[in-house]
Amino acid sequence: MHLLGDAERVLVACATPAAGLPTVDAAGYFRTWTASPDRSRDARAARFTRIVASAYRLPGLRAHWADLSGAAVRAVGALDPSACVATQGHVLSVHELARTLVTEATVHHLDVLVEVSGPPPAGLQVSLQVFSDLPAGVLGARGPPLPGDAERWLLLSGRLPLTSADRVVLGAAADRFPLLS
């Protein structure tokens, strides 16, 4: 259900050209959500998602998502990757907007696979590696990007709790987790 909202966000953004330069890249987009986390907003959003999702039967939800996500991909593909669009108070290039969409889809795909043993499918592995630079960008940290394995992304998105060792390595940045929701 959350992915429906992401596809809608991309469709609206693609129909909302913005003048000037981008105000954020994909990392900056996610950074604004973690800089001042509103846990009550997160709880309300999760409740809304559960209520709306409960109105669907699974085949209907799948069909709706296939329609919306396909339209979002076509809309992004029809625009110049360097063109600027507006979404949620930000201006991003179309390329960076697409990165936010793929990142969200990757994280939510991991949600489905949490209970499945074995490595993620090859396509998902590619997404995890391509976006391995994003967490460091969200934290505003310099240095090597965090590993792109599925477990790391589950930690970054709050699907797995940070261990004591993770907290030591991250220092004060650990208080900003999850970086993605």
Residue in 86, 83, 5 with CA at minimum distance from that of residue 46: 5
Provide the residue range defining the domain that includes 125. Answer: 2-176
> Is residue 181 one of the residues assigned to a domain?
no
> Is residue 39 one of the residues assigned to a domain?
yes
> Is residue 166 one of the residues assigned to a domain?
yes
Nearest-angstrom CA–CA distance, 167 and 148: 18
**Quick one: average pLDDT of 134-145?**
60
Q: Would you state the torsion angle of the CA atoms of residues 5, 136, 106, 65, taken in this order, to the nearest 10 degrees?
A: 10
> Is residue 29 one of the residues assigned to a domain?
yes
> Is residue 131 one of the residues assigned to a domain?
yes
How confident is the model over 46-68, as pLDDT tens digits? 788 788 878 888 888 889 888 99
Tokens of 104: 């969200």
Q: What is the pTM of this model?
A: 0.76
